[in-house]
Structure 1
Amino acid sequence: MITSDPRTAAKSASVSFEDTSIAFASQSDRKLRKTYWLFALMNQGWLVNIGTFFIKLALRLHLPIKKIIKGTIFEQFCGGETIEDCEKTIKSLDKAHIGTILDYSVEGEDDEKSFDLTVTEILRTIDRAKGATEIPFSVFKVTGIGSADLLERVQSSNSLTDEDKAAYERVRQRMDKLCRHAHDRNVRIFVDAEESWFQDTIDSLTYEMMARYNRQRCIVYNTYQLYRWESLIHLKTETENARKNGYLLGAKLVRGAYIEKERIRSHEEEYQDPIHPTKEDTDRDFNLAIDFCLENRDVVSICLGTHNEYSCQYCTEQMKKLSIAPNDPHIWFAQLLGMSDNISFNLASAGYNVAKYVPYGPVEAVMPYLFRRADENKSIAGQTSREFLLVRSELKRRRGC
C-alpha cells in the first residue's frame, strides 16, 4: 500500500507503467481475482455480445438481475448509485493521492423535467467538491441539460422557431447556473465533448462561460477531441482568443469516443469526414496539443483524459524538459475508474496530479455507459486486452511466480 505522500518525491521522478505492485496496491487478492475473471470474460467478444443482449432483454422485462450487475461490471466501473455510495471509492482513491471526478452518468433522458433534475444533481457534485482536495473537478454533458436535436438545429440552421429559441435559452441558463455555481465555490468543471454535428454549439456555449468565469482562475474547461483533424487548429485559435480577451482557457485533451458514428454519418450525408484518416495522425495531434498547452501554460490549464501510455509518458518527459513540477496545479491526468490503473496509480505515486472519472447513477440508467466499457475491452485488435494482462501479471507477482 502507498503510505506516504508521493508529492514529496524529487521533481525529476520517473514513471513506469509496468509496475503492477503500485497499480494494484489498493486491491486485495480477492478483489484482484474478481477483476481478473471479469476482464477474462470481457475479452471474449462473442460472450460480451451475448451478455449485452440478454442484460438488455432482462432489464426490459424487469427480471431480477440488478444484484448480479451491481456485483460485477457495475462494481468495477462505477462508484455507486448515489454520491453517498461513492464515498468509499473517493476515500480509497484519495489514499493513493488520486482525485475523484464524480460523473453523473445517466443517459437517454430527453425532456425538460429530466434536464432540470440533471442540473440539480450536477450542482450536488459541485457542492461535494467545494473545498475538497480529493475531488478536483466536476463534469457534465450538455446533452444532459438540453436536447441533442435542439443543439443540432442551432448548429445547422439560422431559422429557428420561437419555441427552439426559448428552449435554447433554457439550455444556456442551465449551463450558466452550473458554471456560476462552480465559480462561486472555486470548483473546476469539465464540459464533455460530444458528436461533431452539434459540438460547435457546445463550444460556443462553453467559450461564453469561460469568458465570464475564467477571469481570475481557470474554472470552465472545454474538451478537445484530437481525432478530429480540425481540433488542434481550434485549440490554438481559442487560446489566442482567450489571451486577447483576458481570460484563461481550460483544455481537457482526449482522443475521441464517437469514431464509428462520425464516419457513418459523414458517409451517409456526404460531407467531409471530420476524423483523421489514421490513428497515427490522431496520436501526432494529441502530442502536439500537449506541447502547445505546456508552452502556453500562462493562459492554458490542461487535463489529459487518456488511457494512452505513450502520451502520458510523453507529457511527463516534456514537463521535465520545461522544468515543470509534477504537481503543477495547471496540469492533470485523468482515467476512468476500473481502467488503466497502471497509469493512474504510477503517475500519482511519482507525484503527478491524477484523477479518476467515477461514474454513478441508478443501475438501469448507467447501463449504456457500462455497455461501452465492455465493448472497449473486447475490441483490442485480435489480442487479449492490456487490462487483463496487467491484472494477470500482478497475480503472478503476488504468488511469487
Structure 2
Amino acid sequence: IQDAIDEMATEMMKKYNRERPIIFNTLQLYRKDRLQFLKDSFESAKNGGYFLGVKLVRGAYLEKERERALDMGYDSPVHASKAATDADYDAALLFCLNHHEEIAFVAGTHNEKSTALLVNEMQARNIRPDHPNIHFSQLYGMSDNLSYVLGKNGYNVTKYVPYGPVRHAVPYLIRRAEENSAVTGQMSRELELINAEMRRRQIS
C-alpha cells in the first residue's frame, strides 16, 4: 500500500505545492529505502517546480514488516538494528535542513538526541527557530518536556492526535508507548519530570 500512498502524495504535491507546501508525505526511516527515496523525491520536486513536503518518523510497524517479509519470502524492507534506523533518520533530518528553502519538513520524533541535533544545526547555521519550513511534532501526551521547551524557545512545534476506530487507535497508542519506553527510555524520564513538576507546584 505504501507505493500507492507515495504516488498519490506526489501527484497531490505536483498540483497543490506550487506556491507553498500544503501536502506532506510521511517517510518511515526504519525502511532501508526511505533515505534514498527522500533524495529522489527532492530531485523530482526540484525538476517539477514544486515544494517537497515530508514528515520524518522512525516507523511504527517494525515487527509486522518483518513478519510479512518472512511469510511472503522476500527480504525484510526494514533496518536490522535501531542504530541503522537512527543513522538514516538523522541523515534525513540533515538532508532536509540542507535544502530547507525547497523542502518543508516535520521532525516527528520523541528522541532527544535527534531533536537536539536539529536544534543545534539550526543554531549553527543561523536559521531562525520559526522558519516556516521546519517543524517539530510529538504525540499528544508524550514527550511534553521536548514540546514545551521547543515552543518556549520559538520553534514550530505541534502535538499530533491519532484518531479513528478504537480497534485501530488503541493498538497504535500501545505501540507508541512501548516504543517510547523500550526503545528510547523516555517514559521513565517523563515520569520523573512530571513528579518533579508536581513537587515544584506543591512547594510554590
- CA shift, 1:298, in A, is 2.4
Aligned counterparts of 1:259 and 1:378: Cα–Cα separation in 2? 12
Structure showing greater relative contact order (alpha-carbon pairs closer than 8 Å, 6 or more residues apart): 1
Aligned counterparts of 1:268 and 1:242: Cα–Cα separation in 2? 36
* Of 182, 186, 203, the match for 1:381: 182
TM-score, structure 1 as length reference? 0.48
1:213 and 2:23 matched? no
- The residue aligned with 2:124 is 321
Q: Gaps spanning 5+ residues in structure 1: where?
A: 1-197
Aligned counterparts of 2:176 and 2:198: Cα–Cα separation in 1? 23
- The residue aligned with 1:296 is 99
Aligned counterparts of 1:347 and 1:276: Cα–Cα separation in 2? 29
Q: Is the 8 A contact 2:60 2:175 kept in 1?
A: no
SS of aligned partner of 1:385: helix
Aligned counterparts of 2:43 and 2:27: Cα–Cα separation in 1? 16
Q: Is the 8 A contact 2:54 2:106 kept in 1?
A: yes
What amino acid is the match of 1:373?
L
- CA shift, 1:381, in A, is 3.4
- CA shift, 1:306, in A, is 1.0
The Cα RMSD (Å) is 2.0
TM-score, structure 2 as length reference? 0.91
Moved over 6 A (4+): none
What are the within-5 Å matches in structure 2 for residues 200-349 of structure 1?
A: 200-349=3-152
Aligned counterparts of 1:302 and 1:209: Cα–Cα separation in 2? 16
- Tell me which structure has the larger Cα radius of gyration: 1
Q: How much identity, in percent, do the aligned residues show?
A: 45
- CA shift, 1:210, in A, is 0.7
Aligned counterparts of 1:283 and 1:208: Cα–Cα separation in 2? 29
1:391 and 2:194 matched? yes
Q: 1:215 to 1:381 in 2, by over 3 A?
A: closer
* Of 166, 169, 172, the match for 1:366: 166
Query: Which deviates further from its counterpart, 352-361 or 256-265?
Result: 352-361
Aligned counterparts of 2:176 and 2:50: Cα–Cα separation in 1? 37
